Chains A and B, each alone.
Chain A
């Protein structure tokens, strides 16, 4: 009984014990917050990549075949695990905005020229195979929303701005909410997109004439991922072909697979099937396609686990120092306890329990504060930004509009648990030293 009693008195009578608890808590908290953000980053990245990529993507060998969209879609749809497929046409472009002041924003080449990747999609197929409908629904500003989400490229006449009536018959385009906000655009505004036509790739010495067309903005989409939203505009496949002059029907085929299916197996089977009918191409799962990205994030998470070992070392050093100091200060008490008949193990246990108190309370503090901070990191970020007047989280750099957080409670408890166990184990060294102390020498200690 005296072990718990004395340990609590020794621990809670010393400010240094509280400092040690706070230090342990801060270390645990920091790690929980950083790992939660890293997990959130990984989850968001995976969700974003999966949402914008679909489960499996087929890249036809354009140089060899002018693929028929119907034939390719039909071949893929024969696989029992394929839920749906949608073809996309992809082409880089540069656009210029009409009737708006020049603004430098995002991927701008200059204040009046903005670089984008133009995606030609069939809206109905896209909605079935990707998170396209969700991106239309996620638009925050009601004035930017498309009139009809089931037909996002339709622009009602009443939405066409007065000065743009010149372009009433023009094709339409869907741009991101971020881009609309940044370039001060509104629905019905006109912009001209320029690209290099397929004929320019013949390399036959003929002069290259860029393909150019003016489009009206029907509204916005919002994936929540800054880098994607800064770089992509959508138009219908018909408008895409008309604009770019391409003869191809498919640049990429996006395939949605039933949730229970193994993507790698479906990928291999689709690859074999396409080869067998002479439609060879590159078949990749969404993870294959973004393996470098995902690998980098995963790798950073592993690096964090290595950093965790350093945190653990730091915590152990703090606890060891505090306990060693406590034993040093309590040498005479060790002699007193021995004189009162406390066995060596009991004397050591007093200090071991001190270490358990410090490590456990510090670990608990870290766990609770870490989870609380991680769960409210964006509120804290906003408050700090308002208070300090600086931008802490630059979405242009991190590609997310908010700090992504994913709380993994098992991992958090494991972090706190391993830290506490490590600190308790290291406490055994000074406790063991206390237990081995000669009581007579201890009583004489000045």
Chain B
């Protein structure tokens, strides 16, 4: 355990890494938005199994920001994918909004991901054939069926336009990703992540592909929307300056999360 009291190895029974354990204990006990217990995830490499997550614990609360750092190949993205229900851990428990997700079917996890989780990737991952507006609308298109879409189309488009406008893209809505700069693409990706009004915003190296100035703008934007909308912001990053702005910081080391910094 370090000076924040946040080191929680897999076999620890001292409870999960949480806001409380980071030394800023809430006045009243709160239900975590996401609670991971003893997550294990390994990959078979021939005869050997490489254990990337080796019993990871973490609790994430509404409105907080968390930075996860670690060496390349330490398993940060694997952890993020597991927390975001894209990947299923080999063992352990992962509860999102009170629902144990490790036993859910693939489609049930997809539904939960669509409604509760927003992703922002290092390389933006926009659909090249769609305009900025259509990229931002994608999660809502996935959420609603064709009939509901016809009824709600106008409202949803207005919502997407407002979001893009808020992120400074009012003049770029009809542009395809190839016609946008890196910073603009990342803002479209943020708009897309926010479109479903998720409670968890998972960002995988969100500034990793941007210049310093644009990185600052994007980072400001992420923290701003997180505070304004009470999203839980999880940042996987190599950028210590970005990590320093988070409420809590963790290092992923040998498959386990270790809290560091005040």
Q: Which residues of A contact B (CB under 8 A)?
A: 1-2, 4-6, 9-10, 13, 332-333, 335-346, 439-440, 443
By the criterion CB–CB under 8 Å, are A340 and B107 in contact? no
- Can you give 15 A-B contacts (C-beta < 8 A)? A1-B145, A1-B149, A2-B142, A5-B134, A9-B127, A337-B138, A339-B119, A340-B138, A340-B142, A341-B110, A341-B112, A341-B117, A343-B107, A343-B111, A443-B125
By the criterion CB–CB under 8 Å, are A332 and B125 in contact? yes
B23-38 interface code vs A (CB 8 A; 1 in, 0 out)? 0000000000000000
Min Cβ gap A338→B in Å is 6
Q: Which residues of B contact A (CB under 8 A)?
A: 78, 81, 84, 86-87, 106-107, 110-115, 117, 119, 121, 125-127, 129-130, 134, 138-139, 141-146, 149, 192, 196
In Å, the complex CA distance between A440 and B109 comes to: 14
* Chain A CB within 10 A, most for which of B117, B121, B134, B142: B142
Q: Please give, as numbers and ranges, the residues of chain B lying within 8 Å of A1 by CB-CB distance.
A: 141, 144-146, 149
Given pairs A339-B84, A340-B113, A340-B192, 10 additional interface contacts (CB within 8 A): A1-B145, A9-B127, A13-B129, A336-B127, A340-B139, A341-B139, A343-B106, A439-B87, A440-B78, A440-B87
Known contacts A5-B134, A440-B81, A440-B86: A341-B129 contact under CB 8 Å: no
Q: Please give, as numbers and ranges, the residues of chain B lying within 8 Å of A440 by CB-CB distance.
A: 78, 81, 86-87
| Chain B residue at minimum C-beta to C-beta distance from A1 | B149
Partner of B115, one of A4, A332, A341: A341
Q: Please give, as numbers and ranges, the residues of chain A lying within 8 Å of B113 by CB-CB distance.
A: 339-341
Partner of A344, one of B86, B110, B125, B145: B110
| Chain A residue at minimum C-beta to C-beta distance from B146 | A1
Q: Please give, as numbers and ranges, the residues of chain B lying within 8 Å of A333 by CB-CB distance.
A: 127
Q: Please give, as numbers and ranges, the residues of chain A lying within 8 Å of B149 by CB-CB distance.
A: 1
Known contacts A2-B142, A341-B110, A344-B107: A335-B81 contact under CB 8 Å: no
By the criterion CB–CB under 8 Å, are B143 and A341 in contact? yes
Q: Please give, as numbers and ranges, the residues of chain B lying within 8 Å of A5 by CB-CB distance.
A: 134, 141
The 8 tightest CB contacts between A and B, nearest first, are A341-B114, A2-B141, A1-B149, A9-B129, A343-B107, A341-B113, A343-B110, A339-B119
Q: Please give, as numbers and ranges, the residues of chain B lying within 8 Å of A342 by CB-CB distance.
A: 110, 114, 142
In Å, the complex CA distance between A333 and B135 comes to: 11
Q: Please give, as numbers and ranges, the residues of chain B lying within 8 Å of A439 by CB-CB distance.
A: 86-87
* Chain B CB within 10 A, most for which of A1, A5, A335, A337: A1
In Å, the complex CA distance between A336 and B127 comes to: 8
Min Cβ gap A12→B in Å is 9
In Å, the complex CA distance between A411 and B114 comes to: 47
In Å, the complex CA distance between A42 and B78 comes to: 69
In Å, the complex CA distance between A78 and B204 comes to: 98
Min Cβ gap B81→A in Å is 5
| Chain B residue at minimum C-beta to C-beta distance from A12 | B129
Min Cβ gap B216→A in Å is 25
By the criterion CB–CB under 8 Å, are A339 and B146 in contact? no
Min Cβ gap B61→A in Å is 23
Q: Please give, as numbers and ranges, the residues of chain A lying within 8 Å of B126 by CB-CB distance.
A: 336
| Chain B residue at minimum C-beta to C-beta distance from A341 | B114
Q: Please give, as numbers and ranges, the residues of chain A lying within 8 Å of B81 by CB-CB distance.
A: 440, 443
* Chain A CB within 10 A, most for which of B115, B121, B125, B127: B127
